[in-house]
């Protein structure tokens, strides 16, 4: 609980097709994307998945969100389903 701090050098909400920033209006949905030196370099022995996940130089989280005028990022949904097992 609480407010998390962003440790990455850059965390943005962008249009997943154009990589353009979405307006910080609290309404326009985009995908959370990150880049910086604290992210993984890629998936072990899986260059195809790495290339897909890091398209355009950003790590595509799969989280759909809006950016508010004050910089607050509100997660709304997921762009892909993840099955957690184990």
**Structural domain containing residue 27:** 10-78
Within-domain flag for 72: yes
Would the pLDDT of 60 be above 90?
yes
Residue 37 pLDDT grade (very low, low, confident, very high; cuts 50, 70, 90): confident
The count of domains in the chain is 1
Closest CA to 13 of 4, 23, 5: 23
pTM, full prediction:
0.81
Within-domain flag for 86: no
Residue with tokens 């370099």: 41
Within-domain flag for 2: no
Within-domain flag for 47: yes
Within-domain flag for 85: no
Which pLDDT belongs to residue 12? 96
Which pLDDT belongs to residue 45? 96
pLDDT, tens digit, for every residue of 12-31?
999 999 999 999 999 999 99
- DSSP type of residue 21: B
User: What tokens appear for 2 in the block?
Assistant: 């609480």
CATH of the domain at 68: 2.30.38.10
Cβ pair 74, 25 in contact under 8 A: no
pLDDT above 70 covers a percentage of the chain that reads 84
Q: What share of the chain is helix, strand, coil (3-state, %, to 5)?
A: 10, 30, 55
């Amino acid at each position: 609980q609480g407010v998390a701090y962003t440790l990455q050098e850059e965390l943005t909400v962008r249009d997943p097709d154009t990589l353009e920033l979405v307006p910080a209006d609290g309404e326009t949905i985009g995908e959370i994307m990150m880049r910086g030196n604290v992210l993984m370099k890629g998936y072990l022995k899986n260059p195809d998945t790495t290339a897909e996940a890091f398209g355009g130089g950003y790590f595509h989280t799969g989280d759909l969100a809006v950016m508010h005028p004050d910089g607050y990022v509100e997660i709304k949904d997921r762009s892909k389903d993840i099955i957690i097992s184990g």
